[in-house]
Each structure stands twice: as C-alpha cells, then as structure tokens.
Amino acid sequence: MKLCITEKPSVARDIARILGADGRHDGYYEGQGYCVTWTFGHLCTLKEPADYTERWKRWSLGVLPMIPEKFGIKLIPEQSYERQFNVISDLISKADEVINCGDAGQEGELIQRWVMQKAGVKCPVKRLWISSLTDDAIRQGFNSLQPESKFDNLYYAGLSRAIGDWILGLNSTRLYSLKYSSPGNLLSIGRVQTPTLALIVQRGAEISNFKPEDFWELKSTYREVLFSSPGRFTSAEEAQQALESLNGKDMKVEDVQQKQGRESAPRLFDLTSLQVEANKKWGWTADTTLRLIQSLYEKKTTTYPRVDTTYLSEDLHAKIPEILSAMTPYSPQTAPVLSGKIAKSKKIFDNSKVTDHHAIIPTGQSPSVLIGDERKLYHLIALRFIAAFYPDCRFNTTTVNSTVDGRPFKATGKVITDPGWRALYADTPADSEGGDNNDSDDRILPPFTPGEQGPQTPSLAKKTTQPPKHYTEGTLLRAMESAGKTVDDEALREAMKENGIGRPSTRASIIETLFKRRYIARQRKSIVPTQAGIDLIGTIQEELLKSAKLTGLWENKLRRIERGEYKASQFIDELKVLMDQIVINVLSDNSGSKIITGASQSDKPDGETSGSRKSPRKPTDSPAGATNKPRATRTTRLDQVECPLCGRGHILKGNSAYGCSRFREGCGMRLPFADYPADLTPAKLKKAIARNFKAE
C-alpha cells in the first residue's frame, strides 16, 4: 500500500479523487492501492523547556541559557491532533511506501518530516512537489515523484530555523523579562521580530530628531513653460539676490535634446511585492493579503503563494499560451498576446532565479469561484501576468537646456508614443510604484529652437526639508526584504533578497506579533513605535539581536543550508555561543532599568510566532511566582471567535461547517467539520484557527 500524507483534508480529498481512492474511512481515504490521509498543519512541535528537565519549568536567571543536549519533538497535546496522528501512525506501520504530499516549501517539509519521524517511518519515502493544486498539476506531480533525499537540505534549513528561534526566542524572552520587566509583564524577543522593531524605532527616532530647514529654488517662466535652475539656496537673502539679478534678462535656449525611451512591464509578483501593492492600493495589511492569496491558491486559481522570486522557470514558456487562452474573462486583453509568438525573455523566464517555486501567476482555472476581495486580488495578479507579455511602453523625452545671464535652467517633458503594456492600466490611476511624480516631467513641451531667446519671468519657490516618512506595512515589508536598506531598483532588490529579514511567508505575522505585543501601533496607514517598543530597543545592547543587517546575514546562512553550502550544525553551534555571551552581558548590567509593555504573561511569550497558518504552537510557560498578572478573557461562545478571513464577523456553526456571521455581506469563509471538528469548544476552535487557518 502506498500512503499519501497531505497537510489538510481538502488537499487529501482532491488527491484521493484523482488517484481513485474513493473509500472514506475515519481520518483517511482508500482505494486503488493507495491510502490518503492528512495532518492539520503542525501536529508536532519542538519540546518545551520543561519537557527536558524540571529545572527549566521555573523561570529563573540562574538556569540560563537553556540549551538541550539534543533537541526533540513532541505531539501537540490536543485531542483531535492526537486522534489524527494515531491514524497516520497506524497507516505508516502498514505502508510499503510513503508519499510526502505536504506544501512544497521549507515549512511544509518540516511539518511532514516531524510527523513521519514521530510515527517511526521505516519504508521508502517519496516527495510530491507541485506549484499549484489543479488536477493537471497533481497528475503531473505523481508522474514525476522525487526521492525524499533530494529535499534533505530543505529540511535541515527548516529545522535550523526552528531550533534557532527556540534558542534565541525562549532564552532571550526569559532573560530580558526577568531582568528588565516589571512584575507580570513580558518582554518578547525574537530573531526576526526584534530587528524589525528596531527598524521602526530607528525610523521614529529619525523623525523625532529631524529639524526642518527652509530652502529656496530658482525658477523661470519662458513661453509659458516653467524652467528650473539646479541647486538650492539656504538663505532668503541669497535667493532674493539671485532672483533680482535675473530681472529684465532674456532666456536663451542652448540646446534641445530628444531621446526615445522604453519602459518594461512590472515584474511578476512574489509574495512581498503582492503584499506591498495591495497595501498601496487598498490599505490591506500584509496578513490580509496572505490570507486572501492562500485562498486563491486553494481555490486553484493562482499558483503557490509563499514565494520570493519574480521569475518563471523556462519550461513554463510552452504553457503560457494555454494559460492565457484559458483566462476567458480577459480575452480582450490576452488576444493581442496570443495573436503572435510569445518571446522567451530573460526578464521573465530564468531558471537561475527560480528555486522551489516560480512567481505567482494565474493557473488558467476560472475565477468564478472567487468572492469579494478575492476577485480584486485575482484581477491584480491577472493583469500583472498579462502585462508581462505585452510590448514595452515607448515614449519620447525632451530636455531643453537654457541660460539666463549665464545661470543654467532646464525643462523636461515626456510624451508616450506607444502605451504598450500600460494600455492594460488605462482606466486606473498612474502606477503608484513611482511614488510622487514631478508633474513637469510628464508635460508636453512646445517646440524650442537652439539659439532662440526672449523675455522670461524669474520666481522663487520656497520649500522645507521633509523628515523621512513613517513605515507603512508595504514599506516595512520592503525594508525587511532588503535588511533595512531602501531599494527601489528591481534588479538590486532581487540581489538583496538573500540577506533579507525573515521569509516572505512569515513577515506578515511578525508585524502582527509586534502589534499584539504593543511594541508598535497604527496611525492611519503609518506604523509607529510605542514607548514600550522604544524602551525595549534602547535596553537591548546586543547588536545581533536588533541589527537588521546582521540578522539578514543569519538569513543568508539559512538559505545556504538549503542549498547545501553551509552546515546546519555549524549554524546551531554559532547561536549557542552567541546566546552564552548575551546571557553574560545582560546579567552584568547593573542599571536597574525596567520596561512596562502592557503585554501580560498570559499572552504567548517566547520569541517568534511564524505567523504562517501552520506554525507550531510556541511554548506557553510563564515565570514562576508571577503575581497579579492580568488574565486573558475566556472564550466560551462562538460569537467571541473572530472570522479569520474578513476579520469583521464572528464564527457561526452550520450543519457541516463553521461560517462567518457576515456571509450575507459576501464573506465566504468556511471551515469544514472535517478540518475543524464540530465538537471543538469555542476556545479550542479559536486555537485551531490561529494555528492552522493561515496555512490553508
């Protein structure tokens, strides 16, 4: 018997149908020599400190750092999880071959490997590796199953990440909470969370310390066209003198330059650029976009979402016409592309830029199953995909250089001669990627002739230097991607990804965790640090805990582990040494400073929450002897459980699934009882949603 293990029941149903495993049993399907079963995201997690020794159960500075001799895993203690694991374990004991059908990514590999290890798998294991959940993709995947060993480095990278977060998160959180927090309060420290907070705090400090200064720019109007002189004046007197020196003087046109230019279509979406664009257009949080794109993936309308590349693999070139032809709602837009040969451009197809998965694109499946904001997001992806195969936008740029009494002036204008891909966006505002545009660059200039001259009217434009802007979720995601550097160039952005903070799939949840910890707050679209966040970063003296650049280097090592270029054991050993030094340094601090966060010890402590919907549950141990700690509100009714899709409604219980109270307003959130058992208490349902819904 061949056993397929998927990450959730809905995927198991699709695979079972395709394989002909039509017999339904408790926890699995069976037929045609196959059994198909499922997990609920993570069934296993790393052991908590108290699982290793009784000494680590109590929060105490004297036992830090906590470094197990060997890290172990355990089954998450929840009845429905234990019941499903027993089904999987029994099937594994009878299997001749196991097929790992988990999500094709680092976390998906970790989830399934832990389950198989815990169940003691001894038979051969193969890997199903697909980038979409369409029937064709699943069939092709089963026709080209790969050996498990091919993905060993991917697993080692995921394991190293989990262990690294355990070492730094649990130890640092206990260390800083016991040393610097007031009784009953928690200071949450994490490998990615803390340097992200440091970026926000640093930006806040730059804004607070900024001192605006006035300056003046010299302008001149000639033939109803506004010319600008390079440079600026820092004193009003000097600017006025320059202005007066030009009164009554003619402007002379020195030369007129005309150039033809072209602009390529924007790159295809990776997860981060999709989250940035959705935040820019609609103000969506990164977490909202992640949940929506995950839903599109599961409804088979788009490809695997948790990707960090904007390229397609070269073998996809032959399939592009088929995908475009299937996008019938977009026939008017795809017709010009399908009428000719599609070029195999390196700007789109490049195997060297694709690892596990390619960029996010439509699958060609009908989007009729989508509702509400899902449709908006699909439209964004569909247009970006179609635009990639349109011609470049062509334009003429005119630059007029002139002088007045020897002082140089310049005017520029641009005229689009062939809109190319921009024709797809003719009904939408100008692309926001360029930020604030200078209107003078896009105007149409009248004809000018070198040597002509005539009267001009000088003027002064008074301006004030501006502080940097607070991060929005979009710009913060970009900063995390480039380890704090401001990167606008697409090619440079691709190169910086190797040293970014965190992974595309976890950045949204890191931001949400900082909000939950009350280290940051929202001011409309802006993200600002709270006093607790400022105090925490000010207290942390270890650069490796808060430096975006150095944390980016850690991320680079994890990527190198994934490629087989760096040893996982070396990475873990380095973190152990670092943790030893951090403990020594903090215990040596005699400043006596305390930080009040407002985050109680009843909140989840200890470092990162990966934020993907399938993240392992983090340890919830709290300091022994903590008194007067605020208690979290108990969840005893379904109307206390927030809808995980729209975030506005609450959970309702139906005949075969849970739904959202805002279903009449268009929220299509549905939690089948097969995935979320009907007998779960409201509190356990809330936990199950928090743990698993994000991975679906």
Catalytic residue among 29, 34, 81, 304: 304
Q: Which two tokens stand for residue 388?
A: 């990639």
Question: pLDDT at position 498, please?
Answer: 61
The pLDDT tens digits for 122-179 are 999 999 999 888 899 999 999 999 999 999 999 999 999 999 999 999 999 999 999 9
Residue with tokens 């390196």: 346
Verify that 199 and 259 share a domain, yes or no: no
Domain presence at residue 17: yes
Question: pLDDT at position 694, please?
Answer: 53
Which residue from 555, 586, 536 is spatially nearest to 201, judged by alpha carbons?
A: 536
Question: Measured between alpha carbons, how far is residue 115 from residues 6, 112, 537 in Å?
Answer: 11, 5, 38
**End-of-domain residue from the set 435, 464, 493:** 464
Domain presence at residue 185: yes
Q: For 601-621, give the DSSP string.
A: TTS--SS----STTPPPPP--
Average pLDDT value over all residues in the chain: 87
Question: pLDDT at position 649, please?
Answer: 80
Domain presence at residue 423: yes
Verify that 228 and 83 share a domain, yes or no: no
The pLDDT tens digits for 516-560 are 989 999 998 899 999 999 999 999 988 878 887 777 778 888 889
Domain presence at residue 549: yes
d(C-alpha 281, C-alpha 474), whole Å: 10
Which domain CATH number covers 41? 3.40.50.140
Give the phi and the psi of residue 31 in degrees, each rounded to 5: 155, 150
Residues 6+ apart with CB under 8 A from 348: 268, 311, 312, 388, 389
Q: Which two tokens stand for residue 49?
A: 């400190």
**End-of-domain residue from the set 423, 438, 464:** 464
Verify that 502 and 650 share a domain, yes or no: no
In terms of Cβ atoms closer than 10 Å to its own Cβ (0-12, 13-18, 19+), residue 81 is: buried
**End-of-domain residue from the set 328, 359, 387:** 387
Q: Which two tokens stand for residue 47?
A: 């052991």
Is 304 considered catalytic here?
A: yes
Domain presence at residue 631: no
pTM over 0.95: no
Question: Measured between alpha carbons, how far is residue 393 from residues 206, 267, 341, 474, 608 in Å?
Answer: 38, 14, 19, 26, 44
The pLDDT tens digits for 244-280 are 999 999 999 999 999 999 999 999 999 999 999 999 9
The pLDDT tens digits for 2-11 are 999 999 898 9
Verify that 249 and 275 share a domain, yes or no: no
**Which segments of 299-422 does DSSP mark as H helices, in order?**
320-326, 331-338, 373-387
**Domain hosting residue 452, numbered range:** 214-264+393-464
pLDDT higher than threshold 80 for residue 95: yes
Verify that 323 and 442 share a domain, yes or no: no
Residues 6+ apart with CB under 8 A from 354: 309, 311, 312, 313
Verify that 259 and 405 share a domain, yes or no: yes
Residues 6+ apart with CB under 8 A from 451: 252, 253
Question: pLDDT at position 637, please?
Answer: 81
Verify that 348 and 427 share a domain, yes or no: no
Sheet with 97-101: strands ordered across? 23-25, 28-31, 34-38, 2-6, 97-101, 125-127, 146-147
pLDDT higher than threshold 80 for residue 420: yes
- How many domains, the chain? 5
pLDDT higher than threshold 60 for residue 436: no
Mean pLDDT of all residues in 335-361: 91
Question: pLDDT at position 639, please?
Answer: 78
Which domain CATH number covers 243? 2.70.20.10
Question: pLDDT at position 59, please?
Answer: 92
Contact 76, 83 (CB under 8 A): no
Verify that 7 and 116 share a domain, yes or no: yes
pLDDT class for 599, splitting at 50, 70, 90?
low
d(C-alpha 256, C-alpha 373), whole Å: 49
